[in-house]
Structure 1
């Protein structure tokens, strides 16, 4: 199974985790997914009034420079860990 296939499978499995991860873990999942699927952060940082959008942007921006394949593997590993 290719890394891309594993990444897509982990994406599907992320919707059926046994319990909802805490907010910091959710941000990590989001950031790794975006880095793995899109690459480095894009667009403007959301304004101060959009706290959730800003946190998501910052989490993604923290991974800037991480290779897409590395982010995909980290995403797969994290989802596997959360599945228990």
Structure 2
């Protein structure tokens, strides 16, 4: 089974590049099948990691960044793959 973990944060005013650099530099305990980092308007940063694991498996996740980098708590979601084309 493939599980995708999504991590999304919004940077504090003027800190978008800093948050992006911080997210890219974070190491995980273990290697996902795939890891991709995105940016979006309003200085949002999204990281998706794909794991070959059960849906409820204990998996490493990115931590919360330092408070001065973000405007709110990180949003996290977990998804189970149901189709790949």
Relative to its length, the structure with more helix (as a share) is 1
TM-score clears 0.5: no
Relative to its length, the structure with more strand (as a share) is 2
Structure number with greater CO (CA < 8 Å, separation at least 6) is 2
